[in-house]
Structure 1
Amino acid sequence: MAWIKSPYPIERIARMNGKKIGLMKTLSPKNRAIIAMLISAFSFSIMGIAVKLAVDVPLYEKVFFRNFITLFLAFYMVRKKGGSYFGHRESRPFLLARSIIGVLGVVTFYYALSEIDVATATTIQKLSQFWVLIFSAIFLNEKIRLKQYLYLLIALIGVIIVSKPTHIGILWPTLVCFASSVFAGIAFTFLSKLKTYESPSTIVFFFSFFSTVVMIIPMILSFKMITFYELIILLLMGCGALGGQVFMTIAYHEASASDVSIYAYANVFFSAILSMMIWNTLPDIWSVMGILLIIGASYMNFKEVQRYELEEGQSCCDHVSN
C-alpha cells in the first residue's frame, strides 16, 4: 500500500489494486471531523495512561518531554507543508495567549492525572466545553441560553460528587483538575479564533515550541535521570499528545465545535477501558455517579447548541426569503 500526500493526515488516500480509493474524501466535512475527534480522544487516552505510568518522573519533566517530542514532529509537519512556524503577525497575540493558557492547562491536568484515576480526571477536564461557552460570550460576543447555565450547574454538582469533599486527599487534585478545565476552555476559545488565521500544523508547532522553552528551567530544577522504561513511556506520552492535538485541531477545522465537541467524551470510555486492562481498576460508585452527571449535562448542552444553531440558520433563511 502506498500513500499519496494531502493537506491533512486524515484525508490521505490509499492506492490499492492500482486504483485510488479516497474513502475520507467521500465523507462530509462533519463526518471527517467526527472521525478526527475520535482519533484525538483515543490519542489523549494513551497520553493520560502514560502520564499515570510515569509515576516516578517529576511533573515538569513530564510536561517538558511531552512538548519536546511533539516539537520535532510538529516542525516536520510545518516544513512538509511549507507553512509558517510562528504564524502571521496578526495572529501571534492569539497564538501566544493560547500557548500561555495551554501550558497552565497541561501542568494542572498532569498533576491531577498523577493523583486521581484517569477516567475521572478526563471527565472533569472535559468541563472545558462549558467554559468555552462562557469565554466565547465574553470575548467573541456569542450568546448563552438560560438552559445552558442549568446544565453547567448540573455538571458542577457532578464535580462535587466526584471530588468527595470529605476526602482531603482527593479534594485538592480534583480542584486542580477543575482549574485545568477552565484553562482548557480559554485555550479552546483562542483555538476557535485561530482557525480563521492559521493551519493546524502552525498552531501545534507554536504551542509545542513555547511550552518546551518555558519548561526548561522548572524541568532542570526538578530533574531526575530516567530509566529506559520511563523513556519509552515518555515517548508514548509525547506521541499521544501529538496525535490528540493534531486530530483535535483538524476536527475543529473541518466542522464547528457544536457538531463535534461531544465526541471528545470518547476519551473517558477509552481511558476507563485502558485503566481496567492495565490496573484492573475502575472508578468507584461515587465517581461513576459524578461522571454520569457531567457527561449527561454535557450532552444536553451539546443538543442545546445544535438546536440554537438550527434556529439561527432557519431565521437567517427566513430573513433572506423576505
Structure 2
Amino acid sequence: MADIAILETRERVLAGILLTGGAYFLFSTQDASIKLLVAGMSVWQIMFFRSLTILGACAAIGGPRLFADAVGSRIVLPMLLRSAFTLAAWLCYYNAARSLQLAELTTVYYAAPIIVTVLSVFVLGEKVPLLRWLAVVIGFVGVFVACDPTHLGLSLPVLLVLGAAFLWGIAIVLLRKTALAERSMIQLLLNNFYFLLFSTVPALLWWHTPNWGELLLLASVGAFGGLAQYLLFEGMKRTPASIMAPLEYTSLLWAFALGFAIWGDVPRREVFVGAALIVVAGLLIVGTEHFRKRL
C-alpha cells in the first residue's frame, strides 16, 4: 500500500509539473499579444476585455450553478486579496512592456521564482531541499547570462518589472493556499470577476475603440489567459510552490522564440548558453523529484 501511495504522489506531482509548464507557455503567448496591444491601448482596457472573455467562458461551461457556488465559496475574501496583488503585478509588468523588449521584460521578471521559493518556506512551511535551491539558482544564472540585465540599468521600466516580480511572488504563494481550498473553475471565476470589477471604470476613462486586428488580439489574450490560469490552478493543487517556481524559467525560452517570430529579435550566443542552463534547472527539478519519490 505504501508503494502505491508513493507512486500516486509521484504521478500527481509530475502531472502538476506538466500542467504548470503548459500554463507558462500560454502566459508567454498572452504576453506577446499584450505587448502588441499596449502600443495603442491601456492596460486597464486589455484587462477589462480579458476578464470579460474569461467570465463569458465560465458562464458557458459552468452555467448559473457555478456563479452560485462562487458566491458561497469560502475563498471569496482570500481571492480578493490575491487578485489585488496580481492586479498590481499586472499593471507594473505590462506598463513596462511599452519600453522593454519581450526578452528583457521576461529576464528582469525572473526574480519572481526565487521570491516564491523563499516565501514558500516562511509562509507555507514547505521544506526546500538543497538541490531544489540549486535548480532555482542555476535557472536565474541562466536568465542573467541570456540577457545580461545589468546593461538595462535601474530605469523606471526595470523598477516596474522588479516590483511586478515581488508582487507576483506574493500572489503565487497566496494562490497555493487558495488552490488547495477550492476547485479551479471557481478560482478562475472569482479571479476574473475581481479583475473586471477593478478595471471597468479605468477602462472606460481611457477607452480606445479597437479595430478588427486588435479585437482578434484581445480575444486571443482572453483565450490564452483563461486557459493558462486554469492550468496553473490545477498545477498548484498537485505541486508545491517551491517545485513549481523554477518551471517559470521555461517562459524565457518562449519569450525569445516569440520575440524572434514577431519582432525579428535575433538571440545572441549568450542566449543559447543561458537557455541551456535554464533547461538544466528544469530537468534537475523534475529528475530530483522523480528520484526522491523512488526512495
TM-score by length of 2: 0.78
Paired residue for 2:54, among 55, 64, 70?
70
Shift of 1:144: 6.4
SS at match of 2:203: helix
Identity of aligned residues (%): 18
Paired residue for 2:175, among 176, 181, 191?
191
After TM superposition, list the pairs within 5 Å mapping 1:194-205 onto structure 2: 194-205=178-189
User: Hey, what's the Cα distance between the residues in 1 that align with 2:277 and 2:41?
Assistant: 31
Deviations 1:202-227 (A, max 9, x none): 11111100011111121122111111
User: Hey, what's the Cα distance between the residues in 2 that align with 1:52 and 1:146?
Assistant: 37
In structure 1, runs of 5+ residues without a counterpart are 1-24, 315-322
Kindly indicate whether residue 3 of structure 2 is the aligned counterpart of residue 52 of structure 1.
no
SS at match of 1:164: helix
After TM superposition, list the pairs within 5 Å mapping 1:229-240 onto structure 2: 229-240=213-224
- Specify whether residues 182 and 298 from structure 1 end up closer, same or farther in structure 2 by C-alpha distance, changes over 3 A only: farther
Deviations 1:18-71 (A, max 9, x none): xxxxxxx9x932343233223212211220111122121122212222222122
User: Hey, what's the Cα distance between the residues in 2 that align with 1:151 and 1:200?
Assistant: 27
User: Hey, what's the Cα distance between the residues in 1 that align with 2:23 and 2:87?
Assistant: 19
After TM superposition, list the pairs within 5 Å mapping 1:65-104 onto structure 2: 65-79=49-63, 82=66, 84-86=69-71, 88-89=73-74, 91-104=75-88
> 1:49·1:118 contact (CA, 8 Å) conserved in 2?
yes
Shift of 1:299: 5.5
In structure 2, runs of 5+ residues without a counterpart are 1-7
> 1:258·1:306 contact (CA, 8 Å) conserved in 2?
no
SS at match of 2:89: helix
After TM superposition, list the pairs within 5 Å mapping 1:116-131 onto structure 2: 116-131=100-115
Kindly indicate whether residue 132 of structure 2 is the aligned counterpart of residue 158 of structure 1.
no
After TM superposition, list the pairs within 5 Å mapping 1:238-277 onto structure 2: 238-277=222-261
What residue is the counterpart of 1:221 in the other structure? 205
Aligned residues: 282
Kindly indicate whether residue 12 of structure 2 is the aligned counterpart of residue 29 of structure 1.
yes
Query: Does 48-57 or 110-119 show the bigger shift?
Result: 110-119
What residue is the counterpart of 1:210 in the other structure? 194
Deviations 1:139-196 (A, max 9, x none): 3344568995996699499399415255x7xx32122111111111111111111122
Amino acid at match of 2:108: I
TM-score by length of 1: 0.72
- Specify whether residues 257 and 173 from structure 1 end up closer, same or farther in structure 2 by C-alpha distance, changes over 3 A only: same
Amino acid at match of 1:88: S
Which structure is richer in relative contact order (CA contacts within 8 A, separation 6 or more)? 2
What residue is the counterpart of 1:19 in the other structure? none
Give the aligned CA root-mean-square deviation in angstroms. Answer: 3.7
Deviations 1:243-292 (A, max 9, x none): 21111111122333344443333222122112212221135678x49966
The structure richer in helix per residue is: 2
